[in-house]
Amino acid sequence: MREKNIVWHHHQLSKEERSSQKGQKQCVLWFTGLSGSGKSTIANALEAKLYEMGQHTYLLDGDNIRHGLNKDLGFSDEDRVENIRRIGEVSKLFVDAGLIVISAFISPFHSDRQIVRNLVESGEFLEVFIDTPLEICEQRDPKGLYQKARKGEIPTFTGISSPYEAPATPEIHILTAEKSIDELVNMIISYLQEKGYLYASTY
Amino acid sequence: MREKNIVWHHHQLSKEERSSQKGQKQCVLWFTGLSGSGKSTIANALEAKLYEMGQHTYLLDGDNIRHGLNKDLGFSDEDRVENIRRIGEVSKLFVDAGLIVISAFISPFHSDRQIVRNLVESGEFLEVFIDTPLEICEQRDPKGLYQKARKGEIPTFTGISSPYEAPATPEIHILTAEKSIDELVNMIISYLQEKGYLYASTY
């Protein structure tokens, strides 16, 4: 690089440039709810719908985090906090990239969710409470985990032997009972539209 | 969620859907080179240029990784490997999101870079060797680090007291001497175009 490059204008892309290029305001939709509440199903359906609308998203969940970035972590209290901290930091990077991040983890403790909320800017953290009664989650039991927990085969299980601290004031409160997935997804989309998160020109 | 939803078609967005939406093939441009070689400067200029072309990128560097995700890591050999492993896993997530990821870290060891190459699919890892002679890097010494290293104030410093293993067969070899930043950026863009990584319709 010759002397002439010293006058080269150093431009660092901003978060706003990245998100406006994508027709949206960057944010993390932080899904929280019991095992079996429908977090993954709703998150995937929401992502598919936003994609159809021309929006740019990314979904963080157990599938892509547990066996990758956080594969060195176990289930101790210390590791649980580190697990959420890293997911929070990664969410922040994706927010900085201008994306709408959807994260789908039980995240039962208020303090852990607060850590992530504090990592990003005001208006970038949207807590989405997937509110399904424990009885229904346990009845569904898609992975047979509640049954194992009841038998004592899983020592610490949210809702059975460990508390779930429901969000007191989530940005979006999704009562899943008696609603179709489409209806639930549309509730979240409506919130995002009303609050000005979506302005892609392709729909 | 009522019974009717059991027939709801579960569609998980694919990496290819996310990247084709963005008019590109996802990849990580893994910059490696000595301190002061120009990695950050070229990476930022490349990102700005790709943005102008309508491409979707994200830059990972010390600024957004060291004080966030990896703030718990020091400079021991073990931490160095964990540092690169996490950057690799995060790069993989961004690649999965369909983005062109640019990472700018010295990453002096072949084995560390190989870890990241192995994390992603064939054709998704592009090693970019920012090849600037040590004498020039030391002469520039933008952060005064070489001076400190020569005085023994930094015990382990790449190029002085610790080896830099130059890539044997980088996908892109950038000899910086006697070239302008624009010329260097265009070399990388040309590679991406020739190999079919860029096909946004906006340029």
Question: pLDDT by residue (tens digit) across A5-24?
Answer: 344 456 789 999 999 999 99
B175 assigned to some structural domain: yes
What's the CA gap between A195 and A190, in Å, rounded?
A: 8
Residue range A36-94, pLDDT digits in tens: 999 999 999 999 999 999 999 999 999 899 999 999 999 888 999 999 999 999 999 99
Terminus-to-terminus CA distance in chain B, angstroms?
A: 45
* Inter-chain touch B38–A1, beta carbons under 8 Å: yes
Residues of A in contact with B92 (CB under 8 A): 68
Number of domains observed in the structure of chain B: 1
Chain A neighbors of B68, CB-CB under 8 A: 89, 92-93
* A1 in any annotated domain: no
Rg over CA atoms, chain B: 19
Report CA B34 to chain centroid distance, whole Å: 14
Report yes or no on B63 lying in a domain. Answer: yes
Say whether pLDDT at A2 is over 60.
no
CB contact under 8 A, B11 and A93: no
Q: H or E stretch including A57?
A: strand A57-61
* A178 vs A196 pLDDT, higher one: A196
Residue A199 counted as domain residue: no
Question: Closest partner residue to B64 among A58, A96, A99, by Cβ?
Answer: A96
What was the pLDDT predicted at A200? 65
- CA B17 distance to own-chain centroid: 23
Residue in A with minimal Cα distance to B3: A180
Q: Is residue B60 part of a domain?
A: yes
Answer yes or no: are the C-beta atoms of A153 and A10 closer than 8 Å: no
What confidence score (pLDDT) does residue B10 get?
Answer: 62
Number of H helices, E strands in chain A: 8, 5
Of B4, B21, B93, the CB nearest to A90: B93
Q: Is residue B81 part of a domain?
A: yes
pLDDT at A76: 87
Quote the CA–CA distance of B38 and B139 in Å, as a whole number: 13
Distance from CA of A130 to the nearest CA of B (A): 11
Distance from CA of A162 to the nearest CA of B (A): 25
Residue B203 lies in a domain: no
Q: Which residues of B touch A96 (CB under 8 A)?
A: 58, 64
SS3 A11: coil
Expressed as residue numbers, the domain containing B45 is 14-194
Q: Which residues of chain B are modeled with pLDDT < 70?
A: 1-10, 200-203
Is the pLDDT assigned to residue A1 strictly greater than 90? no
Q: Quick one: pLDDT at residue B27?
A: 98
- Model confidence pLDDT, tens digit, residues A135-194: 999 999 999 999 999 999 998 899 999 999 999 999 999 999 889 999 999 999 999 999
Instruction: Identify all chain B residues contacting A89, using CB atoms and an 8 Å cutoff.
Output: 68-69
Closest-CA residue in chain B for A131? B1
Q: What is the pLDDT of residue B3?
A: 41
Q: Would A8 be classed as within a structural domain?
A: no
Chain-centre distance of CA B45, in angstroms?
13
- Which residue in the set A2, A51, A182 is minimally distant from B13, CB to CB? A51
Task: Kindly indicate the confidence band of residue A201, based on its pLDDT and cuts at 50, 70 and 90.
Answer: low
Instruction: List the catalytic residue out of A19, A40, A103, A107.
Output: A107
Annotated catalytic residues of B are: 107
B93 and A48: CB-CB below 8 Å?
Answer: no
The ipTM is 0.93
| 3-state SS, one letter per residue, for B103-147 | EECCCCCHHHHHHHHHHCCCCCEEEEEEECCHHHHHHHCCCCHHH
* Residue A191 exposed, middle or buried by CB count within 10 Å (0-12, 13-18, 19+): middle
Asked about A76 being catalytic, the answer comes back as no
Any idea what the CATH number is for the domain that residue A98 is in? 3.40.50.300
